[in-house]
Amino acid sequence: MGNTGRVSSTTPRFAALAGIAAAATAIGTAEVVAALTGPRSSPLVAVGGLVVDTAPEPVKRFGIEVFGTYDKIALLVGTALLLGGFAALIGMLAARRLTVGLAGIVVFGGIGAAAALTRAGADAADVLPSLLGAAVGGVALWAFVAGPLELDPWPWSPPTPAGSPSVPGSPPAAGGPSGPAGPGRGVDPDSRRRFLTGVGTVLGVAAVGGVAGRWLAGRQGVSAAREAITLPAPVSAAPPVPAGADLAQPGLASYVTSNRGFYRIDTALVVPQVDPATWQLRIHGRVRNPVTLSYADLLARPMVERYVTLACVSNEVGGDLIGNARWLGVPIRDLLDEVGPLDGADQVVGRSVDGWTCGTPTAALRDGRDALLAVGMNGEPLPVQHGFPVRMVVPGLYGYVSACKWITELELTSFADFDAYWVPRGWSAQGPIKTQSRIDTPRPRNRPAAGPVTVAGVAWAQHRGIDRVEVRVDEGPWQQAQLAPTVSVDTWVQWSWQWPATPGEHTLQVRATDSTGETQTAQRQDVAPDGATGWHSVTLTVT
Ligand SMILES: Nc1nc2c(c(=O)[nH]1)N[C@H]1C(S)=C(S)[C@@H](COP(=O)(O)O)O[C@H]1N2
Ligand SMILES: [Mo]
């Protein structure tokens, strides 16, 4: 190692660069290996998943509120920035003492491996990407700091030949972190070129590796299998959407939500790829006759098709975490009748391939409502993001207690014996959907002209049905809105009201009454623990 004692103020930057290049190599390697061992073993995905599962509830809520459906992208970008910072630090530490830098890499590899082992269905092979990534990253770090690509000189290393102990109390090596940069004395240009070429090459290879790894993982995706599926016709078709159910008002959510426009909420950082050819559903636990069904078994059963409006418990008043689709599936009621739940089995736990669980009251699945093991959404096989190949859909219950995507198990148990995913995280074990209404148009930015203005929106009280929607202006008298027809009590309903708008600032409010006669409370309640309450209001200026 040619340490001539020359110094350069740019060296800390080079050291940081070496650390980042080494970390990128580690991650690129890990992604390639993870393409073979499965997505849950990718350290980025595993650590991110662990963060999602263990982050305190307020942090998670913040993520969902600020980034919405992009919360996962935000998490990945945040993780990458954080990792970049640590990698730079590791590079700078390694420039002073290689073993410290290598120890940093070992710690990161260890965290990745440990995180991978915590994921649902993990086995020993899942530590491989992290371990191999750390090993390759370690070699890269060595190459930049003490090996063939070493910058000449590393002014932070002791001025004495490598290996000799530094003298306690001696002044820092020339050009130490706080030492002065020697004027005009830079790094040897040849070595600088070699170093930067090395860094560039390694970053390029790492990027190619990362992309190739993701691409390989993508090829293992199930889109092709999904496209090859022909769904059976239902024995009981969905009732036709009545004329006028969709008021087709600009700004108003359409009565049927497209698959592309459907909200997506789940804890999965990487969308699970479940092969229908090997998919199985185990119905077991406190039952007389446990069964295991294949996808073919399921498709061979009589299918029904129903419109059901799905809603998320995290939907704020006025929010859009709600959508209405036509679902094709097998009635869960029939399956439960066949397995024969034992006394006291008051909870059915749906378990996803990624370990997520929801707990549904057994009674809700057997009381005659159209609770489905769904395979189709709006005439297509379930989109992968929405649970392909099979998910649950239960009218009247929030998604977190009923709508298990990528489902592989239905376990009969009791509420006393098992808490599903969100329950220990502060959400209610019971999650019936609360009656709600929303003003979709006009919105504040519309600034409508004075005169007749169509006020319109949606209201929902799944499985009870909406009886009445009322609107008021500036806290004046409540005015009855017109309800559009609907397919059933299991979907939302559109409403409209003609407003003789006058110039100035006004506040519109809406409230709905369900078929039990209960009117939405004005009381504002947060989404936690069991769904928001309160009236949606919109303040706007009429010109
Ligand atoms: N496997 C799995 N299923 C899940 C979830 C999840 O995190 N993992 N989230 C649930 C929640 S909270 C809701 S609101 C619905 C949303 O379904 P969607 O994404 O198809 O709209 O899925 C439910 N099913
Ligand atoms: Mo949800």
E strands, 211-356, are: 280-285, 291-294, 304-311, 322-331, 347-352
Amino acid identity at 18: A
**For 176-201, b where at least 16 C-beta lie within 10 A, e where not — what string?**
eeeeeeeeebebbeeebebbeebbee
Domain ranges of the chain: 12-158+188-219, 280-425, 436-542
Helices 128-145 and 189-219: angle between axes, nearest 10 degrees: 170
Q: Convert the pLDDT of each residue in 378-387 to its tens digit.
A: 999 999 999 9
Q: What are phi and psi of 435, to 5 degrees?
A: -60, 130
d(CA 137, CA 131): 10
Nearest to 304 by CA among 364, 397, 375, 230: 375
Nearest to 110 by CA among 92, 144, 137, 85: 137
For residue 324, pLDDT beyond 90: yes
For residue 152, pLDDT beyond 80: no
Q: What is the DSSP letter of 294?
A: E
Strand-pair partners of 349? 359, 411
- CATH code matching the domain that covers 280-425, chosen among 3.40.50.300, 3.90.420.10, 3.40.50.720, 1.10.510.10: 3.90.420.10
When computed from its CA atoms, the radius of gyration of the chain, rounded to whole angstroms, is: 30
Indicate the pLDDT class of residue 9, thresholds 50, 70 and 90: very low
* CA 334 to ligand 1 center in whole angstroms: 23
In the structure encoding, which two tokens stand for residue 322, read together?
């709600």
Mean pLDDT calculated for residue range 184-192: 69
Q: Whose CA is nearest to atom 7 of ligand 1?
A: 266
Q: Can you spell out the DSSP letters for 439-494?
A: EEES-GGG-PPSEEEEEEEEEE-TTT-EEEEEEEETT---EEPEEPP-S-TTS-EE
Task: Give the closest ligand to the alpha carbon of residue 264.
Answer: 1
d(CA 277, CA 200): 43
Considering only the C-alpha atoms of the chain, give the largest distance between any 2 of them, rounded to a whole number of Å. Answer: 89
- Same-fold call for 280-425 versus 436-542: no
Residues 436 and 482 sit within 8 Å (Cβ to Cβ): no
Question: What 3-state DSSP class applies to 332?
Answer: helix
Q: Which helix (H) or strand (E) holds 437?
A: strand 436-441
Give every CB contact of residue 157 below 8 A, 6+ residues apart in sequence.
1, 3, 95, 96, 173
Q: Whose CA is nearest to atom 9 of ligand 1?
A: 266
Give the lowest-confidence range in 205-219, 234-248, 266-280: 205-219
CB atoms within 10 A of CB 227: 9
* CA 426 to ligand 2 center in whole angstroms: 14
* CA 400 to ligand 2 center in whole angstroms: 5
Question: How far from 510 is each of 323, 475, 543, CA to CA, in Å?
Answer: 19, 10, 22
Closest-lying ligand 1 atom to the alpha carbon of residue 353: 1
In the structure encoding, which two tokens stand for residue 519, read together?
């009117």
Give every CB contact of residue 196 below 8 A, 6+ residues apart in sequence.
none
Pocket of ligand 1 (CB under 6 A): 262-268, 310, 312, 352, 354, 356, 386, 399-400, 403-406
Question: How far from 305 is each of 146, 234, 332, 534, CA to CA, in Å?
Answer: 66, 6, 13, 33
Question: How far from 345 is each of 288, 296, 360, 431, CA to CA, in Å?
Answer: 11, 28, 11, 18
Question: What 3-state DSSP class applies to 213?
Answer: helix
In the structure encoding, which two tokens stand for residue 498, read together?
């003609």
Task: Give the closest ligand to the alpha carbon of residue 310.
Answer: 1
- Identify the CATH number of the domain defined by range 436-542: 2.60.40.650
For residue 10, pLDDT beyond 60: no
Closest-lying ligand 1 atom to the alpha carbon of residue 422: 12
* CA 527 to ligand 2 center in whole angstroms: 10
Indicate the pLDDT class of residue 515, thresholds 50, 70 and 90: very high
Question: How far from 223 is each of 6, 40, 385, CA to CA, in Å?
Answer: 58, 19, 11
Task: Report the pLDDT value the prediction gives residue 50, as an integer from 0 to 100.
Answer: 85
For residue 37, pLDDT beyond 90: no
Q: Is the model's pTM score more than 0.75?
A: yes
* CA 265 to ligand 2 center in whole angstroms: 6
Indicate the pLDDT class of residue 6, thresholds 50, 70 and 90: very low
Give every CB contact of residue 508 below 8 A, 6+ residues apart in sequence.
439, 442, 455, 471, 472, 473, 499, 537, 538, 539, 540
Total length of the chain: 543
Question: How far from 126 is each of 70, 116, 139, 180, 486, CA to CA, in Å?
Answer: 27, 6, 22, 47, 49
In the structure encoding, which two tokens stand for residue 68, read together?
């919405």
For residue 175, pLDDT beyond 70: no
Q: Convert the pLDDT of each residue in 48-91 to its tens digit.
A: 888 888 887 777 777 665 665 667 777 878 888 888 899 999 99
E strands, 212-363, are: 280-285, 291-294, 304-311, 322-331, 347-352, 357-361
For residue 461, pLDDT beyond 80: yes
* CA 542 to ligand 2 center in whole angstroms: 36
Residues 93 and 13 sit within 8 Å (Cβ to Cβ): no
d(CA 52, CA 59): 10
Indicate the pLDDT class of residue 484, thresholds 50, 70 and 90: very high
